[in-house]
Amino acid sequence: MAARTKATERVRRRAGERDPLLRPEWQYIEHCNMDDYGQEDWLIVNRQRAEYLAEERATQALELLSASRNAPTFGYLINNYEHCLQTATLLHRDGHDEETIVTGLFHDIGFIVCPENHERFAADLLRPFVSEKNVWMLEHHEIFQRVHLHGFYERQDAEFIYAREQWLGHPFYDWTVEFVERYDIVAIDPDIENLPIGFFEPMVRRVFSRSPSPDRE
Ligand SMILES: [Fe+2]
Ligand SMILES: [Fe+2]
């Protein structure tokens, strides 16, 4: 009920009313043009931003994923949200580490809203928090799928379909092949009982609370 009341209040808010601050002790910056912000203002914003991101980044990533939980499909037996949950469920079932499970959970978060480049969407979301191996896998999983999607692409030449072979011998080649075969192309099965999003939420929060690092390994 409390959540519903809050949602109703949000709908009633109009332009000119202030968005709530995360903490009551925080400050608004009283300028309507960022050109007018001074150094002191930016110090305040950046201090509040760091605390805000620490708390909200995981929350909003989970909300972004959950937004599609009731979405229809365009032919698969389960929708993209369930596909993401299923990938994470299968990874957990096979004993993969927390970071890899979270990577699987978000691997197709952009599949509907950014279909032209959904692999990059997920890679950029997780890049600060997961290993180079998992970022590389996310960035390349679509190309590595091509050998499995018979008849999907207009182009059927070997150079395109077997494009993954250019990375044969790459340190992350085997993991990307394994992810696609064992945790992606098979994660469209309505008879597999998915673990709920709440099961993965603490893992997401722990992974997102890692110190952002562009060179994590
Ligand atoms: Fe994908
Ligand atoms: Fe997928």
Q: Nearest ligand, CA of residue 115? A: 1
Å from CA of 76 to ligand 2 middle: 12
| Beta-bridge mates of residue 17 | 15
Same domain, 58 and 82: no
Is the pTM higher than 0.75? The answer reads: yes
CATH number, domain of 158, equals 1.10.3210.10
Going by C-beta distance under 8 Å and a sequence separation of 6 or more, which residues neighbour residue 90?
104, 182, 183, 186, 187, 192
**Coil, helix or strand at residue 71:** coil
Which domain covers residue 79, as residue numbers? 71-208
Q: How far apart are CA 182 and CA 91, in angstroms?
A: 9
pLDDT tens by residue, 152-198: 888 889 999 999 999 999 999 999 999 999 999 999 999 999 999 99
- Residue 216 in any domain: the answer is no
Å from CA of 107 to ligand 2 middle: 6
Specify whether the CB–CB gap between 194 and 86 falls below 8 A: yes
Å from CA of 10 to ligand 2 middle: 34
Å from CA of 81 to ligand 2 middle: 10
Q: Nearest ligand, CA of residue 80? A: 2
What average pLDDT score do residues 196-213 get?
Answer: 92
Å from CA of 135 to ligand 2 middle: 15
Same domain, 105 and 204: yes
Q: Nearest ligand, CA of residue 86? A: 2
Q: 215 pLDDT exceeds 70? A: no
Q: Nearest ligand, CA of residue 188? A: 2
Å from CA of 154 to ligand 2 middle: 20
pLDDT of 5 reads 41
- Residue 37 in any domain: the answer is yes
Q: Residue 202: is it exposed, middle or buried by C-beta count within 10 angstroms (0-12/13-18/19+)? A: exposed
The number of domains in the chain is: 2
Max CA-CA distance within the chain?
61
Same domain, 44 and 107: no
Q: How far apart are CA 69 and CA 165, in angstroms?
A: 35
pLDDT tens by residue, 37-82: 999 999 999 999 999 999 999 999 999 999 999 999 999 999 999 9
Same domain, 112 and 166: yes
pLDDT tens by residue, 99-122: 999 999 999 999 999 999 999 999
- Residue 214 in any domain: the answer is no
Å from CA of 121 to ligand 2 middle: 13
Å from CA of 180 to ligand 2 middle: 8
